[in-house]
């Protein structure tokens, strides 16, 4: 199989696609792209839409983390990314769809609002990436990219304050799926990869990590992606974080 995966460093669905290829044992070339600029590169490479992850596999163009998961399962069934049992499979697909449509966007909004507050953080997500220019140069010239990404992703202050308030409920939902065995089983499934990569990216933000790391969702994320490059120092107003602090699990059992 000849495979080239187009990614943005720090992109959670890109990380999910990388992990899918690794899990399937498919060797691939990785093309690291700068955010925003990626849109033109991906279109120029012949993909119908402008997002990453985008995969060229033996000449076939597959775009989107869910489609990549399905196509890899079709072409290389072992190890499967979906359970064989129909009922379990549809539960995993529902969790995966929520991860793709809801959790990914919430994560992107919080991330870009955090990067807007500390431009220097953008370079930390490029650790280990080959962008064609030194990370230090990319970081110094990133202001227009950050402004565009905040706009494209609707990462306004109002939206992100609401996202942070909604986060405890989002994490409860993931914890429930883990309890029910939809997520976090012995064999990593497509929804574990879809959701675990978003949660892990949220954990790179120092304001947010304490609200996640001692939850089952945090343990799942660390298991799925032990190392996710990047960090954002505390940047959000304390009032925005109150709902998270109130929902943090106690340090020791009472």
**Residues within the interface to ligand GSH (CB under 6 A):** 8, 11-13, 35-36, 38-39, 51-53, 64-65, 100, 104, 108, 149
Q: Give the shortest CB-64-to-ligand GSH separation in angstroms.
A: 4
Rounded distance, CA 161 to CA 147, Å?
Answer: 18
Q: Give the shortest CB-11-to-ligand GSH separation in angstroms.
A: 4
Nearer to ligand GSH, 65 or 240 (CB): 65
Q: Give the shortest CB-94-to-ligand GSH separation in angstroms.
A: 15
The alpha carbon of residue 97 and the mean position of all alpha carbons in its chain are separated, in whole angstroms, by 13
Nearer to ligand GSH, 8 or 138 (CB): 8
182 token code pair:
């939809």
Nearer to ligand GSH, 12 or 116 (CB): 12
Residue burial 212-246, b: 16+ Cβ < 10 Å; e: rest: bbebbbbbbbbebbeebebbbeebbeeebbebbee
Beta bridge partners of 7: 32
Q: Give the shortest CB-169-to-ligand GSH separation in angstroms.
A: 21
Nearer to ligand GSH, 36 or 208 (CB): 36
Left if phi > 0, otherwise alpha if psi is -120 to 50, otherwise beta: which for 12?
A: alpha
């Amino acid at each position: 199989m000849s495979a080239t995966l187009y990614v943005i460093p720090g992109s959670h669905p890109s990380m999910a696609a990388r992990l899918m290829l690794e899990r399937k044992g498919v060797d691939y070339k990785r093309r690291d792209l700068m955010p925003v600029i990626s849109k033109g590169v991906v279109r120029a490479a012949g993909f119908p839409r402008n997002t990453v992850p985008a995969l060229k596999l033996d000449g076939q163009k597959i775009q989107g983390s869910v489609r990549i998961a399905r196509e890899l399962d079709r072409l290389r069934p072992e190890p499967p990314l979906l359970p064989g049992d129909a009922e379990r499979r549809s539960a995993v697909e529902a969790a995966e769809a929520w991860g793709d449509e809801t959790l990914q966007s919430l994560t992107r909004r919080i991330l870009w609002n955090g990067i807007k507050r500390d431009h220097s953080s953008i370079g930390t997500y490029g650790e280990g990436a080959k962008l064609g220019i030194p990370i230090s140069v990319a970081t110094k010239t990133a202001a227009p990219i950050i402004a565009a990404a905040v706009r494209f992703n609707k990462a306004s202050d109002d939206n992100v304050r609401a996202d942070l308030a909604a986060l405890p409920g989002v994490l409860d939902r993931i914890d429930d799926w883990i309890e029910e065995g939809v997520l976090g089983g012995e064999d990593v499934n497509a929804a574990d990869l879809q959701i675990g990569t978003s949660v892990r990216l949220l954990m790179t933000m120092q304001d947010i990590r304490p609200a996640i790391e001692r939850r089952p969702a945090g343990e799942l994320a660390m298991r799925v992606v032990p190392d996710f490059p990047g960090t954002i120092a505390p940047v959000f107003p304390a009032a925005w974080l109150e709902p998270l602090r109130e929902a943090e699990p106690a340090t020791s059992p009472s």
